[in-house]
Each structure stands twice: as structure tokens, then as C-alpha cells.
Amino acid sequence: MAEFDSKLPVSGGKNHVFEACHHVVKALRASDNNLDANLRKLLSDLEMHLSTFGIADTEVEDVGFSEIKERFKEAVKKIRSWETNQSTILEAGLSEANQFFQALYEVQSVLVGFKALPIKTNQKEKDVYNQATVALDIAMLRLEKELRDVLHQHKQHVQPEYLAVSSRRKDIVYDESFVSLDDEVVVEASLHEDDEQISDFYSSDLVDPSVLPHIKAIANVMFACEYDQPFCEAFISVQREALDEYMVTLEMERFSCVDVLKMEWEDLNGAMRKWTRVVKIITQVYLASEKQLCEQILGDFESISTACFIEISKDTVLSLLNFGEAVALRSCKPEMLERFLSMYEVSAEILVDVDNLFPDEAGSFLRIAFHDMSKKLADHTTATFLKFKDAIASDESARPFHGGGIHHLTRYVMNYLKLLPEYTDTLNSLLQNIHVDDSIPEKTGEDVLPSTFSPMARHLRSIVTTLESSLERKAQLYADEALKSIFLMNNFRYMVQKVKGSELRHLFGDEWIRKHIASYQRNVTNYERSSWSSILALLTEKNESVRTLRERCKLFSLAFDDVYKNQTHWSVPDPELRDDLHISTSVKVVQSYRGFLGRNAVRIGEKHIRYTCEDIENMLLDLFECSPSPRSLLSSRRR
């Protein structure tokens, strides 16, 4: 571009320029609200000059006009000097920045002036106009670059510390394999880790607040010069990229519907956990801050702030929504219940935040999409919960469970139920209108907690009832009545202990606990009867002959050996229950035997008595240890 040259005529034409200046001042004064200190000063200077010159005073006029011309020349020079300067105007300092803006306003005034002229100006003035447009465009382009650079360099990171911690934790996978874990491990894994910390990071500043005035100044001037579109494009582009990068630091991946349906459970479990954390951080922290930033910078321009915010956030939000939808395509397997519960819970929780982020018509499609997705997750979660029962009911065994111990299904169900009290509120709201038959009659009273008859409690009891039915069916597979009883007592005892030892007790209630204790006690009685009645009957005698007595003694020993052989393989894992069994069995059997021996030992003769009372007492202790190789029968008292 040619150096600005004084091509302006000294006579005649100068009136046009003079008038132009008047117009400029008028126009700028009229838009007083947007003026900053620099421009106001410029205007007062100009006005001062203009007011001292009358139109007739041509000589003085020329001096006044040439001053404006000089200023314009300087302004263009200043603007051009920044054209190739790669560092930011901001870091050059406040004075430099002010000078740049002042130069810009100079140029803009010339343009406004020319535009306001009612008559066509001559060629030379048109050239000035042309040069001014180029200078303006250079300045605008430079400011656009400035905007991008400043936003980028003064970006602040939203980095909640707990993130680093949770990503190190190993995900516990709730499939059949977890029945073999210690119960303690399961408890540990269910800790809800992250709710509290997030609120500490509300509304962090995405950009260093000290640069905001500078950015706002850029916005104001670009909008004033009708370069609002490029400003918005640049702003949206930088901010959207920053959000993308943030998602990368959160290690959030995008998945297609095809991916989600194909995923192995472990991977999906991890992805769902991550989503649950990320969606909260994004809506409650990051986007809230982003919206605030848009407001701070573009708040003066009505709907522009909203439009920009939506453009910046749209893609990420839609992608998060898509994952929620995709996950709801999967079938309702019971092991997914907890993950669905947390996803649904979070989605419901953030609806308020989403409504605040996108309150207007323009953002309504996102708001509605969130509500829809939350509803879908609700339905899917409820369906998964209800299917849990079906899965339990359809668990059929072909063979009796070895050793009569605690069945995998029992462990699975009870450990799973133990995780659910954490989601009490959510489950109650999902289940409130779904009727289910309860195993205990509804009661009120001082000693009855309201939680015991909440929708969730009813459903949980119903699930356990289904488990019980399943166990009854499995028990039928045992040929041995005694083993059947052992099986049932073990499993019912396990259920009771799990309920008593956790939050579940408030849900199941005392009456349920009492009923189920009574139930396994009955099985203890059954066991004793079916195992020992006929054996102990051998020890009641009425004036039998010696031979009969000896026979009885032998039969008793043989029968006892049988029981011993079998029942040492049986399992009663619960130590207390096992002790109780030992004690009550011992009391019965040893007492009877002692009595029998007491009455008849002499007549029978020592060499026909295989076991002493002590022997019997000791051997009884081996029962239910589930030992692979019981103490050898032969190692007992030899004869």
C-alpha cells in the first residue's frame, strides 16, 4: 500500500472533510455508552479543535485538518506495526494496548465520517477511505489473532485432584467371579467416591480473570466495526478446542453405538463409571464456567453470548448424551444394575444444572435431549432391576450343591443387595409405582422404621423371596434329608447375617429377621431329627439281652461311622452356627450314649464297645468342617 500522501486539496474540497469530522463527532457522541476513556478523550480533543475554527478561517482550517490527516497517518502506521508482531498486544503493556485501540478508533472515525457524508466525495478522498478500510481490516485481523492468542495463553485448567486418585483404583467387576472374593473387598469397592469433592470446584475460571477486560475491549471494538462474525468464530473455535482438550485430560473416549453394544463387560463398566464422573464435572463445573465466560465477554450483545456458548458446548454435550443413549440399548443384565443406577442417578441430578446452562429456546434441544436421556436411563434401570428377580428365578441347578454350603447364587444376590442402600432415594423414586407382593404384612408403630415399608424395601424382600424359592428347589435335589436341612440352614443363616450386618437391616426390618432366624432354626431341628433320631433310637433299650445290647452297640458304632464319614464333608461355614450345631448335637448324642453306656457297659463288655464317650465327643467336632480328608476312623481309639 502506498504511503499516505497529502493528496487532499487545500481549498474547496476541505469543507467536505471538515463536515465529515463534525459528523464523526456527532455520531460517536450519539453512541456514548460504548465509548471508552481513550475515545472520549479523542472526541473532546477533536471537538475542542473544531470549536475554535470557524468555516471562514481557511488558514486555521488547514492546520486543523492536517492534524487529523497526521493522526490518521500515525494510526495506520501504528496498526501496520502490529501486523507481523507475533507477541500479544496484551503483554506489550497497557500503554501499547491503549495506543493500538486509539489508532483503531482514529481509523474507524474516518470511515464513519466518510459513510456519513451525504454527497459523493472526490477520488482522492475515496482513496483515503479505501486505505482506511484496509487499515481497519488489518487491525481486525490482528485483533482476531490477539483474541486467539490471549485466550489460549491465559487458559486455566480445571483439574480436580481426586481425578488422579480414582483413575488408579481398579474397577471391581460384578460378575459371577466376585462371589469368591472376600466380603470385605466387596464392601470396599462400593464406596461412593466423588460427590463431595466436585462442589469444591464450582465455577473455576477458565481464563485468567485479569485478561478479561482486554478481551472485552477486543469484543467491543470488533462488534463496533461490524466484525462481530469473525470475532465469534474465533472465540468459539478456541474455546471449543479447549473443551476438547479438557475431555482428553479426563480420558473420556467417544464410542459409537456399535462399539457400546460390542464391548466386553469390563470395558463397558469402566466407560460407564467414567461417564458418570465426567458428565458431572462437565455440566456442573466446566460448562458453568464457560457460560460465565461467555456472559462476561459477550453479555452486552444480547443473544450472541447464548449462541456462542451453545456452539462451544454442543458437540461435547451431544457426545455425552449419545453414550447415555447407547448404553440403554444393551440388554438388561443384572450385573449392570449398579452402573445403570449411578448413571441414572447422575443424569437426574444434573438436570437442574442443564436447565440453568440452556434455559433459552436456542438451547432447548439440548435441554430436552438431556431430559429424554435421563428418562431412558430410568426406564432401563428399572427394567434391569426387575429382571434381576427373573434371573434369580431362572437359575436352575442340575445337581445338588456340593457339601450343602452357601450357594453362589445366595452370595451373589446378598452381596449385590448390600450395594443398593447407597441408591435408596433413586430406587425408591424409580420403584414407587411398581407394585410387588411383600413377604411381611405392613405395620406401623414406634419400633417400625418407615424405610422398612418403602418401595425399595418391598422389592428387595420380594427379590429375597424369589431367592428362597430358588433355594428350596435346589434343596430338593438332595437325596439326603439331613443334607437338605444343612443346605437350607446355611443359606438362610447367610442371608440373615448379611441383612443384620449392613444397612439392609433398616430395610428388611426386625420382623423379617425374626422370621428368617426361626426358619433356619427349624432346619437345625430337622437336621438333628433326620440325622440322629434313628441312631439314637438304638440307644434306648428295655431289658434287652446281652447279645442284643452288643448288637445295638455295634450298630450304633457303624451308624455313627457312616454319619461321620458323610458329615465331615459337609460344610457349615458360619462359625457360630457350626458351634451351635456341634454343641446341640453333642449334647444330644453324647448324653444318650453316656446314658446307654452307663446302664449297659458292664454287661456288654469293654471289647465290644468301640467308642468311648470322649471319642464320640471329639469326633463330633469334626463334623461340618468340610475337610477333604477327615481324621481317619482308624486313628481313633484302637482296640
152 binds another protein (CB under 8 A): yes
Angle between helices 287-298 and 228-249 (to 10 degrees): 160
CB-CB contact of 39 with 105 (8 Å): yes
**By CB under 8 A, residue 267 contacts another protein:** no
- DSSP 8-state code for residue 286: I
Residue nearer to another protein on the CB measure, 148 or 506: 148
Cell 445290647 sits on residue: 549
Among candidate residues 87, 89, 69, the one with its CA nearest the CA of residue 79: 89
DSSP 8-state secondary structure symbol assigned to residue 283: I
Choose between 158 and 623: whose C-beta lies nearer to another protein: 158
Work out the burial of residue 441: count CB atoms within 10 Å of its CB; fewer than 13 is exposed, 13-18 middle, 19 or more buried. exposed
Count of residues engaged in binding another protein, rule: CB under 8 A: 55
- Looking at the Cβ atoms of 91 and 188, the one nearer to another protein is 91
| Beta bridge partner(s), residue 625 | 571
Query: Could you tell me the smallest distance in angstroms from the CB atom of residue 351 to another protein?
Result: 19
Establish if 562 lies at the interface with another protein (CB under 8 A). no
Does position 322 bind another protein by CB under 8 A?
yes
Does 597 bind another protein (CB under 8 A)? Our answer is no
Q: What are phi and psi of 61, to 5 degrees?
A: -50, -50
Cell numbers of 262, please? 460390542
Q: Does 336 bind another protein (CB under 8 A)?
A: no
The residues pairing with 571 across neighbouring beta strands, listed in sequence order, are 625
Q: Does 248 bind another protein (CB under 8 A)?
A: yes
Residue closer to another protein (CB basis): 206 or 488: 206
Minimum CB distance to another protein smaller for 289 or for 316? 316
Among 145, 216, 500, 631, binds another protein (CB under 8 A): 145
For residues 330 and 594, which CB has a smaller minimum distance to another protein in the complex? Answer: 330
Q: How far apart are the C-alpha atoms of 230 and 30, rounded to whole Å?
A: 26
For residues 136 and 563, which CB has a smaller minimum distance to another protein in the complex?
A: 136
- Which of 5, 83, 176, 245 touches another protein by CB under 8 A? 245
**Binders of another protein in range 403-442 (CB under 8 A):** none
Q: How far apart are CA 39 and CA 28, in angstroms?
A: 9
Enter the C-alpha cell of residue 429: 423414586
> Which residues on adjacent β-strands are paired with residue 155?
207
Output the smallest distance, CB 123 to another protein, in A: 8
Q: Whose grid coordinates read 445366595?
A: 410
Nearer to another protein, 240 or 459 (CB): 240
Whole-number Å distance between alpha carbons of 179 and 173: 11
Among 315, 355, 361, 425, binds another protein (CB under 8 A): 315
As a whole number of angstroms, the distance between CA 407 and CA 27 comes to 87
| Farthest-apart Cα atoms in the chain, separation | 157
Of residues 94, 141, 518, 583, which one binds another protein by CB under 8 A? Answer: 141
Q: Is 318 in the site for another protein (CB under 8 A)?
A: yes
CA–CA dist 613, 618 (Å, integer) = 9
Instruction: By CB under 8 A, tell whether 330 contacts another protein.
Output: no
Residue 386 or 448 with smaller CB distance to another protein: 386
CB of 318 to another protein, least distance (A): 7
87 binds another protein (CB under 8 A): no
Site for another protein contains 230 (CB under 8 A): yes
Binding mask 273-312 vs another protein (x if CB under 8 A, - otherwise)?
A: --------------------------------------x-
Q: Quickly tell me which residue has 425408591 as its cell.
A: 428
CB of 142 to another protein, least distance (A): 10
- Say which residue the cell 444434573 belongs to: 350
In sequence order, what are the residues at sequence separation of 6 or more whose Cβ sits closer than 8 angstroms to the Cβ of residue 448?
Answer: 509
SS3 of residue 155 by DSSP: strand
Rounded (10°) CA dihedral 62, 63, 69, 70: 160
Per CB under 8 A, the segment of 76-84, 225-233, 347-355, 474-482 that binds another protein is 225-233
Pick the stretch among 67-75, 203-211, 318-326, 499-507 that binds another protein (CB under 8 A). Answer: 318-326
Which region, judged by CB under 8 A, interacts with another protein, from 154-162, 169-177, 321-329, 525-533?
A: 321-329
Phi, psi for residue 207 in degrees, rounded to 5: -130, 140
Please tell me whether residue 234 binds another protein under the rule CB under 8 A.
yes
Interface with another protein, residue 137, by CB under 8 A = yes
DSSP 3-state assignment of 571? Answer: strand
Q: By CB under 8 A, name the one of 79, 110, 140, 366 that touches another protein.
A: 140
Is residue 238 at the binding interface for another protein, with CB under 8 A as the rule? yes
What CA–CA distance (Å, rounded) separates 489 from 471? 11
In order of 6, 39, 53, 185, the CA distances from 13 in angstroms are 13, 27, 16, 92
Residues 451-490 that bind another protein (CB under 8 A): none
Q: Does 22 bind another protein (CB under 8 A)?
A: no
Query: Could you say which of 76, 247, 417, 483 contacts another protein (CB under 8 A)?
Result: 247
Which member of 165, 185, 365, 514 binds another protein (CB under 8 A)?
365
Residue 255 CB, shortest distance to another protein, in Å, is 5
Beta-bridge partner residues of 207: 155
Residue with smaller CB distance to another protein, 57 or 244: 244
Short-list 244, 263, 270, 245, CA closest to 326: 263
As measured in angstroms, the least distance from the Cβ of 176 to another protein is: 23
- Which backbone phi and psi does 155 adopt, to 5 degrees? -65, 140
Q: Are 26 and 123 in contact (CB under 8 A)?
A: no
Nearest CB to another protein, comparing residues 91 and 226: 226
Q: In terms of CB distance, is 66 or 319 closer to another protein?
A: 319
x/- contact string, 106-135, with another protein (CB under 8 A)?
-----------------x--xx-xxxxxxx
**Spatial CB neighbours of 205, under 8 Å, sequence gap ≥ 6:** 156, 289, 293
Q: In sequence order, what DSSP letters do the residues of 502-528 get, joined into one string? A: STHHHHHHHHHHHHHHHHHHHHHHHHH
Per CB under 8 A, residues contacting another protein are 123, 126-127, 129-137, 140-141, 144-145, 148, 152, 226-227, 229-230, 233-234, 237-238, 240-241, 244-245, 247-248, 252-259, 261, 311, 314-316, 318-319, 322, 325-326, 328-329, 365, 369, 372
